[in-house]
Amino acid sequence: MLLVKNIEIRFGDYPLKKPLAIASGVIRNVPQMFVVVEVSDGAKTVKGFGHNSISAVWADRRDLPLRERERQIKECVERARRGLRGFAFSTPFDFYTKFALKNRTQLPNLAYVMALSPIDLALWDAYAKLKGKSIFALPEVKSRMDHDRPRTVRVMHLVGMGDPVHSIVRAIKKEGIAHFKIKLGGRPDADAKRVNRIAEIKGVEKVTVDANEAYGSPGDLSNFIGLLGSRALRKLLLIEEPFARNSRTRVNDIGARVPVFADESCADHRDIKKLYAQGYAGVALKPHTKTFSGTLLCLDELRKRRMRWTIMDLTTAPPIGYLVGVACGSRLTTIGGTELNGRQYYKNWKRLIRSFRASEPVGWGVSEALFKKYRTAARGY
């Protein structure tokens, strides 16, 4: 058995150069959570590193001030930190099934899983180091990937509700991007008009639309689809999370026209059975945000039901969160590629990415010196 001897958690922030507007609110800052765990196998002790973005705007839709939602997330993390000292486990799956899923709090499920995800990533890092392997060489990880070796990641560009159309043209010309994920606001006329306009742009080959729970009924969503032009319909790959995360709405009829994928309504692998029964075609995986352990188990459930998946972002950044999204995107066969929007919104993205090097042969590949460098760069909040 492995033993958690100590765990250290710090919060920081990478400033955004522009707000990101989604249906659930406007994201003006993206808190960063950094985790260091010390794990022993009895013979030696190693440090595992975990990190990811934390967004209460996306994960917690309760009618509370944002500061209060963020405070409760930090309080939850602190309780987990105290509870994990002395925690014995065989694999990081034990943390997920025996700790994370057994210790619910007042937080909504999605916010709770998001809050614990950097801890899960740190435990995987330590576990792989004790095994002397990289994460993707571990049998329990490698067996769930589609490809043994990383392949080129097809990047999906996010078009937030407030983003100008000329940003799409720039992404096509400067980065060669052809797939665009468009945020919807829940108004069929306005949403369809915007999607139709984007679909007409030369170089836009595929589009995905993400409502972030904005639509109130299947009728409204059907109206939106009915207002799309033939070009937009040909390019539309899927509709992501149209209804509230706790909705019991069946999407079979809509899915017969356009595949419907779940995001916020899939907090952990146990949700997939219900989503399948409701007619969802697949799930938006977030291996950096909904725990890496949970993502691996989600893949099991999805394959069992012959459902599909894509990899979506939470405005992740280096050192760990961004790496996990890219690494999974390069080893899984996804619908439409992998969303990576940190490059669009972080103020100092060029500096953040220029400093990044996954140089270590074990774990996530991030050295202690590099991890500390990023943690120092994230100003406290």
pLDDT of residue 103: 76
Name the band, by pLDDT with cuts 50, 70 and 90, for residue 357.
Answer: confident
pLDDT at res. 69: 95
| 169/219 same-domain check | yes
Angular region, 280: left φ>0, alpha ψ -120 to 50, beta rest:
beta
What's the pTM? 0.96
Where are the strands (E) in 245-337, listed by range? 260-262, 282-285, 308-311
Give the containing element (helix H, strand E) for 115: helix 109-131
Residue 380, pLDDT > 70, answer no
- Is the domain of 372 the same as that of 258? no
C-alpha 35/C-alpha 77 separation (Å) is: 10
CATH number for the domain harbouring residue 66: 3.30.390.10
Residue for token digits 């944002």? 66
pLDDT in tens, 154-187: 999 999 998 998 899 999 999 999 999 999 999 9
Position 106 scores a pLDDT of 86
Do 117 and 166 fall into the same domain? no
Distance (Å, rounded) from C-alpha 24 to C-alpha 33?
22
Whether residues 267 and 306 share a domain: the answer is: yes
Query: What 3-state DSSP class applies to 196?
Result: helix
CATH number of the domain residue 249 falls in: 3.20.20.120
Percent above pLDDT 90 for the chain: 89
Cis check for the bond before 319: say yes or no (omega within 30 of 0).
Answer: yes
Q: Which residue reads 């306009």 in tokens? A: 197
Task: Please say if the pLDDT value at position 72 is more than 50.
Answer: yes
Query: Stretch 37-60: mean pLDDT, rounded?
Result: 97
143 and 204 in a single domain? The answer is yes
213 — phi, psi (to 5°)? 75, 15
Would you say residue 358 lies in a domain? no
User: CA-to-CA distance for 255 and 313, rounded, in angstroms?
Assistant: 23
Helix and strand tally (H, E) in the chain?
16, 12
Rounded Cα gap, residues 56 and 73, in angstroms:
8
Mean pLDDT along residues 258-268: 97
| Residues 216 and 294 occupy one common structural domain | yes
**Residue 379 pLDDT exceeds 80:** no
State the pLDDT at residue 381.
Answer: 42
Count CB neighbours of 152 within 10 A. 8
201-227 mean pLDDT:
97
Same domain, 169 and 288: yes
Residue 296, CA distances (Å) to 76, 95, 104, 132, 348 in order: 24, 14, 21, 21, 32
Please count the structural domains in the chain: 2
H or E, element range at 4: strand 2-22
Is the pLDDT confidence value at 132 over 60?
A: yes
pLDDT of amino acid 110: 96
**Percent of the chain predicted with pLDDT > 70:** 99
In a domain, 181, yes or no: yes
In a shared domain, residues 111 and 91: yes
On whether residue 369 sits in a domain, the answer given is yes
My answer on whether 43 and 100 are in the same domain is yes
Domain extent for 160: 139-353
Q: First CA to last CA across the chain, in angstroms?
A: 37
Same domain (yes/no): 253, 292: yes
pLDDT of amino acid 77: 96
Q: Is the domain of 62 the same as that of 153? A: no
Average pLDDT over residues 289-310: 98
In the block, tokens 């595992």 appear at 48
Does one domain contain both 125 and 171? no
Q: Which of 84-93, 96-105, 124-133, 314-323 has the lowest mean pLDDT?
A: 96-105
Please name the residue that has the structure tokens 């078009």: 159
Q: 242-279 b/e with 16+ CB inside 10 Å = b?
A: bbebebebebeebbeebbbbbbbbbbbbebbeebbebe
